[in-house]
Amino acid sequence: MSSFEDEGIVDEIIKKNEQSSLIVILQEVQSHYNYLPEQALTLLNKKLEVPLSKIFSLATFYRSFSLRPRGKNVIKVCLGTACHVKSGNNLFEKAKRDLNLTEGEVTTLDLGFTVEKVRCLGCCSLAPVVRINEDTYGSMTQERLSKVLKKYL
Protein backbone atom coordinates (compact mmCIF):
# COMPACT_ATOMS: atom_id res chain seq x y z
CA MET A 1 0.00 0.00 0.00
CA SER A 2 1.96 3.03 -1.17
CA SER A 3 -0.64 5.73 -0.74
CA PHE A 4 -3.44 5.06 1.66
CA GLU A 5 -6.54 5.19 -0.46
CA ASP A 6 -8.80 3.79 2.21
CA GLU A 7 -9.64 7.00 4.04
CA GLY A 8 -13.30 6.27 3.37
CA ILE A 9 -13.12 3.00 5.18
CA VAL A 10 -11.59 4.54 8.28
CA ASP A 11 -14.21 7.31 8.17
CA GLU A 12 -16.95 4.77 7.97
CA ILE A 13 -15.61 2.80 10.93
CA ILE A 14 -15.39 5.98 13.00
CA LYS A 15 -18.92 6.99 12.05
CA LYS A 16 -20.36 3.60 12.79
CA ASN A 17 -18.74 3.54 16.23
CA GLU A 18 -19.26 7.11 17.33
CA GLN A 19 -20.40 6.08 20.79
CA SER A 20 -17.78 3.40 21.24
CA SER A 21 -14.35 3.39 22.80
CA LEU A 22 -11.09 3.55 20.89
CA ILE A 23 -10.58 -0.17 21.51
CA VAL A 24 -13.75 -0.98 19.60
CA ILE A 25 -12.61 1.23 16.71
CA LEU A 26 -9.23 -0.51 16.62
CA GLN A 27 -10.99 -3.89 16.69
CA GLU A 28 -13.03 -2.83 13.67
CA VAL A 29 -9.96 -1.60 11.81
CA GLN A 30 -8.16 -4.83 12.58
CA SER A 31 -11.09 -6.98 11.48
CA HIS A 32 -11.14 -5.08 8.17
CA TYR A 33 -7.41 -5.28 7.41
CA ASN A 34 -6.46 -8.32 9.49
CA TYR A 35 -3.94 -6.01 11.19
CA LEU A 36 -3.54 -2.35 12.11
CA PRO A 37 -1.91 -0.51 9.18
CA GLU A 38 0.18 2.47 10.24
CA GLN A 39 -1.68 4.75 7.85
CA ALA A 40 -5.01 3.84 9.39
CA LEU A 41 -3.68 4.64 12.86
CA THR A 42 -2.33 7.98 11.65
CA LEU A 43 -5.75 8.78 10.23
CA LEU A 44 -7.40 7.86 13.54
CA ASN A 45 -4.94 10.16 15.30
CA LYS A 46 -5.98 13.09 13.11
CA LYS A 47 -9.67 12.43 12.93
CA LEU A 48 -10.30 11.53 16.54
CA GLU A 49 -7.70 13.93 17.90
CA VAL A 50 -6.26 11.18 20.07
CA PRO A 51 -2.47 11.18 20.52
CA LEU A 52 -0.73 8.56 18.39
CA SER A 53 1.09 7.48 21.53
CA LYS A 54 -2.20 6.42 23.11
CA ILE A 55 -3.23 4.52 19.99
CA PHE A 56 0.16 2.82 19.95
CA SER A 57 -0.16 1.91 23.63
CA LEU A 58 -3.47 0.22 23.05
CA ALA A 59 -2.27 -1.53 19.92
CA THR A 60 0.70 -2.98 21.76
CA PHE A 61 -0.97 -3.68 25.11
CA TYR A 62 -3.71 -5.92 23.80
CA ARG A 63 -2.69 -9.22 22.34
CA SER A 64 -5.33 -9.36 19.65
CA PHE A 65 -3.91 -6.34 17.85
CA SER A 66 -1.12 -6.74 15.36
CA LEU A 67 0.95 -3.99 13.80
CA ARG A 68 2.19 -6.36 11.13
CA PRO A 69 0.14 -7.99 8.38
CA ARG A 70 -1.06 -11.38 9.45
CA GLY A 71 -1.58 -14.45 7.33
CA LYS A 72 -4.78 -15.24 5.49
CA ASN A 73 -5.15 -18.20 7.85
CA VAL A 74 -4.49 -17.72 11.53
CA ILE A 75 -3.49 -20.81 13.47
CA LYS A 76 -3.97 -20.48 17.20
CA VAL A 77 -2.27 -23.19 19.18
CA CYS A 78 -3.80 -23.32 22.63
CA LEU A 79 -1.37 -23.28 25.52
CA GLY A 80 -3.79 -23.23 28.40
CA THR A 81 -2.81 -25.39 31.37
CA ALA A 82 -4.67 -28.47 30.17
CA CYS A 83 -3.12 -28.15 26.71
CA HIS A 84 0.28 -27.47 28.24
CA VAL A 85 0.30 -30.68 30.28
CA LYS A 86 -0.76 -32.51 27.14
CA SER A 87 2.21 -31.16 25.16
CA GLY A 88 0.47 -28.38 23.25
CA ASN A 89 3.83 -26.72 22.73
CA ASN A 90 4.93 -29.59 20.51
CA LEU A 91 2.01 -28.74 18.22
CA PHE A 92 3.17 -25.15 18.00
CA GLU A 93 6.65 -26.29 17.01
CA LYS A 94 5.15 -28.77 14.56
CA ALA A 95 3.03 -26.11 12.85
CA LYS A 96 6.10 -23.89 12.52
CA ARG A 97 8.14 -26.74 11.05
CA ASP A 98 5.42 -27.62 8.56
CA LEU A 99 5.21 -24.01 7.43
CA ASN A 100 8.99 -23.59 7.32
CA LEU A 101 8.98 -20.77 9.85
CA THR A 102 12.27 -20.12 11.55
CA GLU A 103 12.83 -19.03 15.14
CA GLY A 104 11.04 -15.74 15.78
CA GLU A 105 8.97 -15.87 12.58
CA VAL A 106 5.24 -16.24 12.95
CA THR A 107 3.91 -15.41 9.50
CA THR A 108 4.79 -17.11 6.23
CA LEU A 109 6.35 -14.93 3.52
CA ASP A 110 3.38 -15.38 1.19
CA LEU A 111 1.09 -14.23 4.03
CA GLY A 112 -0.71 -17.54 3.84
CA PHE A 113 -0.43 -18.44 7.53
CA THR A 114 0.24 -16.91 10.92
CA VAL A 115 0.94 -19.19 13.86
CA GLU A 116 0.17 -17.87 17.33
CA LYS A 117 0.15 -19.21 20.84
CA VAL A 118 -3.07 -18.53 22.68
CA ARG A 119 -3.77 -18.85 26.39
CA CYS A 120 -6.80 -21.06 26.66
CA LEU A 121 -9.61 -21.32 24.17
CA GLY A 122 -11.80 -22.87 26.86
CA CYS A 123 -11.96 -26.30 25.24
CA CYS A 124 -9.81 -27.90 27.93
CA SER A 125 -11.81 -31.10 27.79
CA LEU A 126 -10.44 -31.73 24.31
CA ALA A 127 -6.86 -30.72 25.00
CA PRO A 128 -4.63 -30.20 23.14
CA VAL A 129 -6.61 -27.81 20.98
CA VAL A 130 -5.78 -25.86 17.83
CA ARG A 131 -8.01 -23.24 16.24
CA ILE A 132 -7.57 -22.37 12.58
CA ASN A 133 -9.58 -19.28 11.65
CA GLU A 134 -13.09 -20.14 12.90
CA ASP A 135 -12.59 -23.89 13.17
CA THR A 136 -11.64 -25.45 16.49
CA TYR A 137 -9.97 -28.86 16.52
CA GLY A 138 -9.77 -30.93 19.67
CA SER A 139 -7.58 -33.89 20.72
CA MET A 140 -4.96 -32.80 18.21
CA THR A 141 -1.82 -34.79 17.45
CA GLN A 142 1.22 -33.73 15.45
CA GLU A 143 0.32 -36.19 12.74
CA ARG A 144 -3.25 -34.98 12.42
CA LEU A 145 -2.20 -31.33 12.49
CA SER A 146 -0.20 -31.82 9.29
CA LYS A 147 -3.24 -33.29 7.58
CA VAL A 148 -5.56 -30.56 8.83
CA LEU A 149 -3.14 -27.83 7.71
CA LYS A 150 -3.27 -29.13 4.14
CA LYS A 151 -6.97 -28.24 4.01
CA TYR A 152 -6.05 -24.58 4.29
CA LEU A 153 -3.21 -24.50 1.78
Partner 1 sequence: MSSVKDLERLKAEGMNSLFPSKTKIMVGMATCGQAAGAQEVWQAIHQEVKRRKLDVVVKKTGCIGLCQHEPLLDILKPGYPRITYDRVTPEKVSEVLDGLVKGKFKKSIMARIDHEEFLLDDTRTRYSKDKIPAYITSIVPYNRLPFYKKQKRVALRNCGFIDPENIAEYVAKGGYFSLTQVLRGGKPEKVISQIKRSKLRGRGGAGFLTGVKWEVCRNADGDGKYLICNADEGDPGAYMDRSILEGDPHSIIEGMLIGGFAIGANQGYIYVREEYPLAIERLQSALTQAQEEGLLGENILDSGFDFELEICRGAGAFVCGEETALIQSIEGNWGEPKPRPPFPAVSGLWGKPTVINNVETWANVPVIIAKGANWFNGLGTSRSKGTKVFSLVGKVNNIGLVEVPMGISLREIVYEIGGGIPNGRKFKAVQTGGPSGGCIPKNLIDLPVDFDQLKKAGSIMGSGGMIVMDDRTCMVDVAKYFLTFLEDESCGKCVPCRVGIRRMRELLEDITSGRGREGDIEYLQQMAETIKEGSLCGLGKTAPNPVLTTLHYFRDEYEAHIRGKRCPAGVCKPLITYSINPETCTGCGVCLRVCPQEAISGKKKKPHKITSSKCIKCGACFEVCTFGAIVIT
Asked if 48 is part of the footprint of partner 1 (rule: CB under 8 A), the reply reads no
Q: Rounded distance, CA 34 to CA 52, Å? A: 20
Contact (Cβ atoms closer than 8 angstroms) between residue 44 and residue 84: no
- Mark the segment that binds partner 1 (CB under 8 A) among 6-14, 34-42, 59-67, 102-110: 59-67
Instruction: Return the DSSP state at 124.
Output: G
Residues 68-87 that bind partner 1 (CB under 8 A): 79-87
Give the residues across from 135 on adjacent strands. 132
Q: Of 100, 79, 95, 105, which Cα lies nearest the Cα of 147?
A: 95
Nearer to partner 1, 9 or 124 (CB): 124
Asked if 138 is part of the footprint of partner 1 (rule: CB under 8 A), the reply reads yes
Asked if 64 is part of the footprint of partner 1 (rule: CB under 8 A), the reply reads yes
Asked if 52 is part of the footprint of partner 1 (rule: CB under 8 A), the reply reads no
Three-class DSSP category at 102:
coil
State the minimum distance, in angstroms, from the CB of residue 2 to partner 1.
Answer: 29
